[in-house]
Chains A and B, each alone.
Chain A
Amino acid sequence: MTSAPGAPAARTSASDRVARLLAVVPWIAAHDGPTVDEICERFAVSRRKLLEDLEILMLVGVPPYTPDTLIDVTIEGDRVWLRFADVFARPLHLTPEQGLALVAAGAASQGLPGGDREGPLATALAKLAAVLGVEPGEAVSVTLGETRPGVLEALRSAVSEHRRVRLDYYAYGRDERSSRDVDPHAVVAHGGAWYLHGHCHQARDRRLFRVDRVVDVEVLDATFDPPPESEGDTPLVLGPDVPRVTLELAPAARWVAETYPVDDVSDTEHGWLRVRVAVTATPWLERLLVRLGDDARVVEADQPAHEDAGPVAARRILSRYGAG
């Protein structure tokens, strides 16, 4: 049951208001006179809206709509009692969307460092699974990304305390390990990996770091002024000055076009694909070419060194094997 995409906003809010009442009524009825404030906070509704809704409730019931079959609303000294609300004694069941949102959030949260695997979240998820009819811990699993123990926690606390960090960082694209001092702005999970947005003092600019490439992190005493809200984690884009290569990819190598940002995609003969990719660092291209072998051909490169990056890398690896 999904609400139709693009349904008018008025329709959505109609359902929202009814849906909220169908959740609020059983809760009030099951409690002995909760206060208006308590209800408002618990159900995230304004006092004015709640009182409006309660007024309408007095006109709701079942046939023959005599006083004892209409919901009886009593508001006294800021406390609320509901009687004759048996028809709404339980909330409406959870839709698949609502069940999924809770189970997935719970599963993902359990996977975070320090995640609750035995405490209240775990027992809540087990109870919820029983009600939804799924196997606890089995129906949905969410892995946000790998990190080394302690790294994510240290980065998150540094972000919230505005403390500078020193990263022992392995730059995969450049294939080099270096030490960076970074003002950490935000930690986000995206596309199955964790990223740190921050200002890198070596680069003197904003940089994006993969948290799984952080070998070690030291939280320094130095603090920094956090950037304005909106700038902390805006995506970084590849500039026009990054050199490009044009590749031809065999059908088996089409995944490259799905995995990396490419432009100028065109079909060539026998199901091959021609694409242009940005090469942020030479080792990245070397890696791609030695893995793909005959399934990729460099057609054109902005930098001459990129033209034979594949054979050059293959020879270097061969020398490690004592061959070639």
Chain B
Amino acid sequence: MSAAKLERLLNLTALLLETPRPLSAAEIRARLGVYPDETDAFRRAFERDKDDLRAMGVPLEIETVPGVVPAVEGYRIPKDRYYLRDPGLTPDELAALRLAASLVQLDGLSAREGLLKLGGLVGDTGDAGDAGVGLAVGSLPGGNVAPLFGAIAAQVAVRFTYRSEVRTVDPYRLDFARGRWYVSGYDHARRAERVFRLDRFESTTEALPDARFERPAVAVPGVQLDPWKIGDGEPVEARVLVDAAQAPWIVQHLGPGAVAEERPDGSVVVTMAVTNRDNFRSFVLTFLDHAEVLEPGDLRDEIVAWLEKQAA
């Protein structure tokens, strides 16, 4: 980019930040005095400049210039929407953010620009590089994650196509788990909270600036990924015996709180709260003959009946 263009973009930003009322394109041209004289060339250059500012996230607003007949469009940049509120980060905090950003990288999203705005790159990144832990946190399917995050922050509803249906949702939170992004929120048509997988979005995410919402008073729980807990019924507590070789894995997966009994041979009995019996069966069967449902009897019988049908 030429120095002249850099200078022009900075002066355009400053002019539109300082102006007390929206300025028409003609006024901007006259005040800056750096655009081409020829009308078409001016329009092209001005359009490109506006695109550049918007691409950076500059909140360029279009309003009618007051007191002019016939009506003329004018431009301004509201200071309250332009300026970053100062989070008041200490050098330690800025360094901690930088270290986190060097450890965990989201494909297609750079934390660097944000860090520069917050006060620059402070501290060092330790041995993150040496230890081989530059972590790719999955790709961002269809670029929907950032717009959803923006809508969560702005507390405005979003519209997207999901399973061939246009949904309107108040987005509450994003979860990245088991390799996928999920958004939880209130589905207007279903009048209930729902969870959506971002890799199943069939459209981009459109924010609806006029559809503001209040966040629920109680914390929104994270996405529920344990398949045997999906469903609304009264949970049944199942007891499952898992062999020694597989025991460490199930304990890690369910957490130590789930262990009801540790047997001398290294096997464990774990408890699981089941609201989805099909998914429970499917999960237990991943252990093949290394796990056995002990109780309750009807769950055990269901699994035996299922297996007898397969064995035939």
Contacts and interface: CB of A to CB of B under 8 A. Distances in A.
Interface in A1-31: 1-5, 7, 10-11, 13-15, 17-24, 27
A127 B88 contact: yes
B304 interface: yes
A321 B252 CA distance: 25
Contacts of A160: 127, 130-132
A6 to B, nearest CB: 12
B286 interface: yes
The CB with the most chain B CB atoms within 10 A, among A135, A139, A310, A311, is that of: A139
A108 B289 contact: no
B191 interface: no
Given A121-B96, A318-B311, A142 B104 contact: yes
Contacts of B9: 14, 18
Contacts of B117: 23, 91-92, 94, 98
A31 to B, nearest CB: 10
B106 A104 contact: yes
Interface residues of B, number: 114
A291 interface: yes
Interface in A78-105: 87-105
Contacts of B81: 93
Given A133-B155, A314-B307, A314-B311, A124 B93 contact: yes
A321 B300 contact: yes
Contact of A62 (B18, B178, B303): B18
B10 A21 contact: yes
B96 A116 contact: yes
Interface in B171-226: 173-180, 215, 219-220, 222
Interface string B40-71: 00000000000110111111000000000000
Contacts of B96: 116, 119-121, 124
A180 interface: no
B259 interface: no
B180 to A, nearest CB: 7
A207 B111 CA distance: 32
A318 B307 contact: yes
Given A100-B146, A286-B288, A290-B307, A189 B52 contact: no
A68 to B, nearest CB: 14
Contact of B135 (A93, A127, A188): A188
